[in-house]
Every structure is written in structure tokens, then in C-alpha cells.
Amino acid sequence: MNTFNDTFLRAATKKEVEHVPVWYMRQAGRSQPEYRELKKKYSLEEITKRPETCAWVTKLPVDQYNNDAAILYKDIMTPLPGIGVDVEIKAGIGPVIDKPITSMQDVDKLYELTPEKDVDFVLETIKILRTQLTVPLISFSGAPFTLASYMIEGGPSKNYNKTKAMMYAEPETWFALMDKLGDMVITYVKAQINAGSQAIQLFDSWIGALNQEDYRFYVKPVMERIFASLKDEGVPLIMHGVGARHLTMDWQDLDLDVVGLDWRYPIEEARRDGIVKAVQGNLDPSVLMAPWPVIEKKAKAILDAGMQQPGFIFNLGHGVFPEIDPAKLKQLTAFIHDYSKEKLAQK
Amino acid sequence: MNTFNDTFLRAATKKEVEHVPVWYMRQAGRSQPEYRELKKKYSLEEITKRPETCAWVTKLPVDQYNNDAAILYKDIMTPLPGIGVDVEIKAGIGPVIDKPITSMQDVDKLYELTPEKDVDFVLETIKILRTQLTVPLISFSGAPFTLASYMIEGGPSKNYNKTKAMMYAEPETWFALMDKLGDMVITYVKAQINAGSQAIQLFDSWIGALNQEDYRFYVKPVMERIFASLKDEGVPLIMHGVGARHLTMDWQDLDLDVVGLDWRYPIEEARRDGIVKAVQGNLDPSVLMAPWPVIEKKAKAILDAGMQQPGFIFNLGHGVFPEIDPAKLKQLTAFIHDYSKEKLAQK
């Protein structure tokens, strides 16, 4: 068996590394021909409920690209049926929820999550992966705002109109929902850590829709509670959202280890603004549509900025698109490793 | 005839005013029952091509809400058929373009806009409105990046993947397209000003998808050319985009008068960051879903920040949603007028 590569964990905790670790959001999935072949037979739900298959999907890109971390293949919606929310992932649309949450009665009806019963397949996949992987396994959960947005809108949204309407017009219902989702996230994440996950990323993908004032009032309290409950679990905690530059300083207040940046927040500016935590990012995934010299130039600039201090993980600012050629991801990983190794050796 | 209310024009040019002027993006349209009644008979295209009807739609919210400016009812896609792009506005989707731009050949085929022939109905509507309105008439154009995104993607997009792919992979094609769209915008805007428009807003609605580095290289040059060509036309020029806080300092370099801010960029922070131009914004349109006390509280905070110096126009950070109750817009306008009048009188 190969030696365990702990570079990702070292970077996440701001320790010295020999090369910059890299993984890609959605590295497992849509852009891989082997995955698309599998999807002809099984839906996302079916794959997640077949631990051996799900482990194979999770491990595939790590082997192919030589990435420094694996991220468990599943959806942020995966635990929701466990609390009584019927979700269907529709191709070309995303998660669709037929009976959206509209009232306190709906919130009252949500159950508590019982991981061994409701997401046993997730825990089983984690256990299998820990026997197979030689890099750390990242698990994840959606964060309450983003989960709530699907539950209230009934699916993906452009404006989060109904979500914000509940926040502003029915704050008691809103906070009750945040409480229940906060409980769920804590239970779900702890179970994943107990099963063997070595890092956790919280996806608050759509939180950037809120301004700072609303974030602080309507969402930050539950995030404080979540991270306070998880900080002693002994694994690095990563926060990610898209277009959330204006909330990054608030994330820094939370008991978490790594702050995700998207491509609109240059790392050097984040450092200048006072972000001292480890950072993860931030190539625009659309750049992977470009010819190699453009990708290399942009990756190099990100590496040069990121390597200025310990605590940098290379990633994309958002997930890999289906159109991306896997060969480019492999080439990019090799470039990140080689370039950073040389630079860090000179330090 | 009533006296002409020039408050909006005075604020746009940073002159003293007696009250804060207000208008709302998409004030004419979807949220108004009279408009929805009309839409049962006519499509958006049909309304824009009936100048008397289009003028009525444009004027209706000004009369109902007592706003300080009218904005011409039309779509940013309206001039595109004039340069050879077939667009259909599909209900629930948005603009759909069956033959997207994919190559230099496609760009070469685009015509020059001949306003008197291609958008004569727009010019006619402007002339009619100038005989009817007692507030300034704002006209608008889409900006090249946002127009290009529809032309390349073939419709609305989440990631602007194909648009960025052309930018990165085919920069010659990209810049040729920017040039042609830049010419179109200049011609189109000048014709609208000649017909009687008293202010111009450029909608670069989706420009926030680019980071600052890409904006400066791929888009800013054409914006410089557009505003340099328009600056001597004698009307205030307004720039607007959604989620574009990270580009606002670049807008300040351009020959324009008013910078639009969305709700994620508080006015006091923009001033602190060095934005000295007049600003327009920035209530989250979703707040209009809230009960009145929430709306009032948030509007008051925006007014207090905006009135710190001359050059402030109240608006939303994005367009009015169909679900918004027109009575709330009326109440909000009255509040903005009353509150700001009292505060400004005390200065």
C-alpha cells in the first residue's frame, strides 16, 4: 500500500507543505466519461445508495488526476429525505421538492436525522473509502441557508425571493427552520466524521445572495452554533459559497479552518483585507474551457499568490462543468504539483 | 401642464436636491395588474412596436407611484434583430437565440444598426413620451458583455461557460464581437438621446461573472470607447450590473455619471472605498416581499447613507419581481420623498 499523502490536511491547518495540495469541487462526476457511462444505468440517488459503486466514483478522479484529496460523491440534498423532505434530482434542472416549506407547521413536521438509519449508505461508503484511499477523504454538508433555499423555493432559484420573504416576513418560522437544519447539519457531519471522514466542507453555495447585514442577523447565529459544535471533532472544517466575497470576513469569525474563495476575490486581496485563515481556491472553472497556455498562466498567478504564506489549497471557485476535458484536469494537477514543489523548495 | 420635475437629473449630476429622487428598475411591467391584462393581448415585442401602447406602459408606474423618472419599456434584446440576430423572448425562460454566435464568420455577418429603420418604434415612443411626461425619461441599452452572453449561450445562463470559452480561446473573435456590439450600443444610444431621452442606463447585468483581471482585459476597453463616445451628448450616463461590487472601482474610471450598486455593496462602504461619482441603489427587491416595517427600516438606512453627500438616486439593486404588490412601491416612493425632504431641509 502506498504511503498516506497528508499534504491537504497539513495545508488546511496552515502547516508547511512540499507542494500545494489540490482537489476540484465536483471532480467526481459529470465531466468523466466513465461516470457518464455509469449514469446510463443508475441515478445519483442510486449510486449514493450503492456504497461500493459510490466509493468507486469518489476514488476515480483521485486516481486519474493524482489529486491530494477525495470528496465523497453525493448531493447536498442527500440527507433531506431523512428529515421528511421528498427530493428528486431532475436532470437539467437540479433538486426539485414537490411540497415546499411554507409555514411553521411545515417546519414542525421535520424529523431529527438518525444517521445510522437515514444515511447509513453514506457512512458505509466512507468506511469503504478509508480502506482504499491514500489521500484524505473530505465529506460535506449543505449549510442551512442553502438547504432552506431549495426547501422553500421548491427547487433552484435565481433570486431566492420566497426564501427571503420567509426571512423578512416570518422570522420565527425562519429561525425555527435554521435551528432544525442546524441540528441536522451537526448530527450529519459528526456521523460522517465518526465513520472516518478526515475533513468537512460546508457548502453554503447561494449565501452570496444575502448582504452582510442580513447574513449577520438571519444566518450567522446558526453557523456559529454549527462550527462551535464541530470544532473539537479534530478534522479541518472548510466553508464555501459562490459570490460570497462580501461575507468572507464574517466566515473568519467562525470556528472553522479554511475559507473558500471564488475567482472574483483574488487571494492577495483577501490576505490584504485581513483573511488569516487557510484559503482554498480560486480558479474560475470556465477557464478550463481555454487552451492550456491560458489555464497555466492563470493557475500560476493563483499559486504565486497562494504560496505567499502557509495555508493554501488549490481548487476551483465552483464545481467542474460537464464540458471540461478530464485530460486538462490531469494536466493542471501535474502543473500545480510541479510548479509549487519547485517554488517551495527555493524558500 | 405640470412643472417639470428635474430632481433625478440634478441628483445624477451631483447637484443639491430637495428630496431624494426614486425610480425602480422594471417599474413598468410584470408586477402591475394593468400590464398583465395588456400582456394577454400583446407580447413584449408587440408592445414595444406599438409606440402609443408602449408609452402608456412606460408612463403608468410614474403616475401610480409618483416616481421621479420614467424608464422606457423595452428589452435589452430589442435592437438585436436590427444587426441580424433573431431573438425570441420566451415566457418563463427569457431571451432565446436559435443560432448562437460561435465563430468569426458569425461575427462578420452582423450588420450595423440603422436606428431609423431598425428601431424606429423605439424612437417614436420616446418622442411621444416627451410630450406626456413631467419627469425625465431614461432610455437604456444592454452592454456588450451581457448582450454577447445571450448571443453566445443562446439564452440565459448560470455560468457563462461558452461566453468565457470564446473570450479565453478565441480572443480575436471575442474582440471583434465587442467592437461590433460597441458600435451598436453607441449608435443605438445616440439615436435615443437625439429622439429625446434625458438619461441613459447601460445594463451590464451579468458582468459580475468576470473577475477584475478579465474585466479589465476583455471588456473594459469597449466600455471606455462607449462612454468616451457618449460623454458629450449632454445627458447623465448610468452603469448597472448585478453582483458587480468587485468591478465598481473600474466603473469609476469610465466617463459616466452614476454608478449602480446592488444590495450587497452598502453605500457607506462604497463611499469609504473611494466611489465619488453619484450612486444609484440599493434595496434588495426581495425586501419588497416583507411587511412594511421591514421595508421602511431598510429604506431608511439606505437613505441615511445615501444622503451623506449629493449624488444619490434611490433604486433597487435589481428589477421589481412579478410578485411585488404595487401598493408597496407607491408607499415606498412616498416614504422616500417625505423622509428625505425632511432630512434634507434640516441640513
Contact B169 A266 (CB under 8 A): no
- How confident is the model at residue A347, as a pLDDT? 80
Partners of residue A264 in chain B, C-beta under 8 Å: 208, 210-212, 246
Contact present, B248 and B272 (Cβ < 8 Å): no
Q: Which residue in chain A is spatially nearest to B323 when comparing CA positions? A: A161
Sign of CA dihedral B94, B98, B102, B106: negative
**Inter-chain touch B165–A263, beta carbons under 8 Å:** no
Q: Give strand ranges (E) for chain A.
A: 70-71, 87-90, 94-97, 137-142, 199-203, 237-240, 258-260, 278-283, 312-316
Give the closest-approach CA distance of B318 to chain A in angstroms.
10
- Nearest Cα neighbor of A267 from A288, A227, A298 is A298
Q: Residue A3: what pLDDT?
A: 83
What is the tens place of the pLDDT at every residue in B93-127? Answer: 889 998 999 999 999 999 999 999 999 999 999 99
> Which of B153, B173, B207, B286 would you mutate first to test chain A, the one with the most A CBs within 10 A?
B286
pLDDT of residue B90: 87
B168 and A294: CB-CB below 8 Å? yes
Chains A & B: contacts with CB separation below 8 Å: 86
| pLDDT exceeds 60 at position B1 | no
What is the rounded distance in angstroms from the CA atom of residue A284 to the CA atom of residue A320? 9
Domains and CATH numbers, chain B: 7-345 (3.20.20.210)
In terms of CA atoms, which chain A residue is nearest residue B163?
A286
pLDDT in tens, B197-237: 999 999 999 999 999 999 999 999 999 999 999 999 999 99
- Determine which of B164, B215, B218, B264 to mutate to test the interface with A (most A C-beta atoms within 10 Å): B264
Q: What's the pLDDT at A116?
A: 97
Residue B94 backbone phi and psi in degrees, to 5: 120, -160
Query: Phi-psi bin for B146: left (phi > 0), alpha (psi -120 to 50), beta?
Result: alpha
Find the mean pLDDT for residues B283-289. Answer: 96
Q: Please say if the pLDDT value at position B194 is more than 90.
A: yes
Per-residue pLDDT of B128-182, as tens digits, reads: 999 999 999 999 999 999 999 999 999 999 899 999 999 999 999 999 999 999 9
CA A15, A19, A24, A29 dihedral sign is negative
pLDDT below 50 — which residues of chain A? Answer: none
pLDDT of A89 reads 87
Question: Cβ A159–B321 below 8 Å, yes or no?
Answer: yes
Torsion of CA A68, A256, A165, A245, to 10 degrees: -70
What is the predicted pLDDT for the residue at A2?
64
Q: How would you list the strands of the sheet with B199-203, edge to edge?
A: B70-71, B137-142, B199-203, B237-240, B258-260, B278-283, B312-316
Chain B residues with CB within 8 Å of chain A CB? 159-162, 164-165, 168-169, 208, 210-214, 243, 245-246, 263-266, 284-287, 289-291, 294, 318, 321, 323
Q: Which of B289, B292, B304, B324 to mutate to test the interface with A (most CBs of A within 10 A)?
A: B289
Provide the 3-class DSSP secondary structure of residue A90.
Answer: strand
Distance CA B85, CA A102 (A): 42
Measured CA to CA, the distance from residue A163 to residue A150 in angstroms comes to 9
> How much is the pTM?
0.95
Segment B10-26 shows an average pLDDT of 97
Would the CB atoms of A168 and B286 count as touching at under 8 Å? yes
Contact A246 B265 (CB under 8 A): yes
pLDDT at res. B2:
64
Name the pLDDT band for B54 (thresholds 50, 70, 90): very high
pLDDT for the residue numbered B30: 86
Dump pLDDT digits (tens) for B290-333: 999 999 999 999 999 999 999 999 999 899 999 999 999 999 99
Of A159, A208, A286, the CB nearest to B161: A286
B126 by Cβ neighbours in 10 Å (0-12 / 13-18 / 19+) ranks as: buried
